[in-house]
Structure 1
């Protein structure tokens, strides 16, 4: 496995990004060891909040949420998925599979030995993060899902199909502009540049290219069986499970209903519809942080 690593200078002087990097070595299926980057801010003894990003973003997506959480006494932990942010990037698309992503992230999560975790997950952060909850439910005190899903071969929205078609055929993938197009507000040039920072050229974007094709929207896709098993585990999850989808996302519109209907812990919870596009962390960061602090207070009695 040939591995690319974005030079550190690409991450210097980014707008609103004062956080120190942390690293963990992970591997999966006998593959090469890879360096996974994460942010870890706030009191070490504070209630941990796991902030999971998706495609094609990185932990920068949570830059306005992290300080609000830590001010509220929480420990905010935000990893960069392999292939994104400051984490290593395998150079071949075939190196990226759904199950490898789950394994890489699980190895990192287990290395921190966290418990009583509140998960916030969006986009692929949910496809991976919810697999962690299904595999290790006792480690999670609560879950907040936003603009995500756990697909298991039953189709996709027209919005996702349009994104899949675009992502597989666009000659150059304009990462920062894609994020800007998925928000209700206009990002600044500096913010767009920060989303472009992990990708010096197209060779660094193979993970971003491959992610949409890995979503198991047909019965023939890999990982359908694993996600069906994860759904069975979630159907036994009785701790607080809150949906916080946005009002302007064509890709995941209506996806909250499956969680509200199928996860016992969703009953009686303060479900929200937040303002924003697909990347609602850019549009409603204060509302997200405040909801997370509210959920944490609920779990701590």
Structure 2
């Protein structure tokens, strides 16, 4: 085993990114034996506005939300979009084994606590949902409402499917992990070279991508997965979650399509909500339909205000 390093992407990698004019904000969280880790987040809109928390997935970063942040902020929300450790402008750990599902949840809990967030409107996709829904389940008192798309909360008790197994294998074995290309292929409409480059920006060398390569292996795939007990406990909590819960899965996401059914069936707060399928959108629906999602999120938060 080589030495584990904490890597920090040089600032000049993030210069002149298209449609990402947001000032950086940083907060130090506990990295245990690695020392403090610096987490980056976007913080736009009025500081005293109602909080909207946007959590990205794999292998993206807060850049994914650039089409949603401005309309939300302009509508009076305080919009927070952090980069998970290992992604975006946040610190990266060079050893894949330094990442765990619980570690990511704990890092986000610490970040949420240090900012003193409450009455949160949460939007999550992909790993943003896997991590964010754990926060909702374990700290439901902090959340006012939830909106999710193209995500899940697997316990390891169900088969994850052949397509996901192929993705896991690819993520571990491909010599070069082409982040921007992976994101582009996960859209229905494709992305320009400048946007692909923006997704590549956080990762100047392969060892910066350890967190991105780790995520597929952290999805619970067997009943004895280390995360399985906490996942089952999260579902027990969510089965009691009565606050508004909205799904917006995509019509062209071949892996996650139909995944909304279990949430609509089991979560009490999903009853009576105006669930919708995001049309002409694939896995990264924020790329394909960001303005629409922002509009729907604003309407959702406004319609359910105070409930």
**TM-score of Structure 1 vs Structure 2, range by shorter chain:** over 0.9
Cα contact 1:157–1:252 (8 A) shared by 2:
no
TM-score (norm 1): 0.98
Deviations 1:23-60 (A, max 9, x none): 01111555421000000000111111100001000000
Cα contact 2:58–2:126 (8 A) shared by 1:
yes
Q: Which residue pairs with 1:290 in the alignment?
A: 295
Deviations 1:134-190 (A, max 9, x none): 111011000001000000012213322221121111110000000000001121111
Secondary structure, counterpart of 1:43 in structure 2: coil
Summarize the alignment of residues 1-301 of structure 1 with structure 2, pairs less than 5 Å apart: 1-28=4-31, 31-153=34-156, 154-275=158-279, 276-301=281-306
Shift, 1:220, TM fit = 2.5
Secondary structure, counterpart of 1:195 in structure 2: helix
Shift, 1:251, TM fit = 1.8
Secondary structure, counterpart of 1:284 in structure 2: helix
Shift, 1:298, TM fit = 2.0
After TM superposition, what 4+ stretches of structure 1 lie above 4 angstroms from structure 2?
28-31
Long gaps (5+) in structure 2: none
Cα contact 2:60–2:88 (8 A) shared by 1:
yes
Secondary structure, counterpart of 1:25 in structure 2: strand
- Root-mean-square deviation (CA), in Å? 1.1
Shift, 1:74, TM fit = 1.1
Shift, 1:299, TM fit = 2.6
TM-score (norm 2): 0.96
Cα contact 1:164–1:213 (8 A) shared by 2:
yes
Quote the Cα distance in structure 2 between the aligned partners of 1:205 and 1:260.
35
Quote the Cα distance in structure 1 between the aligned partners of 2:243 and 2:66.
27
Long gaps (5+) in structure 1: none
Cα contact 1:151–1:216 (8 A) shared by 2:
yes
* Number of equivalences: 301
Secondary structure, counterpart of 1:246 in structure 2: coil
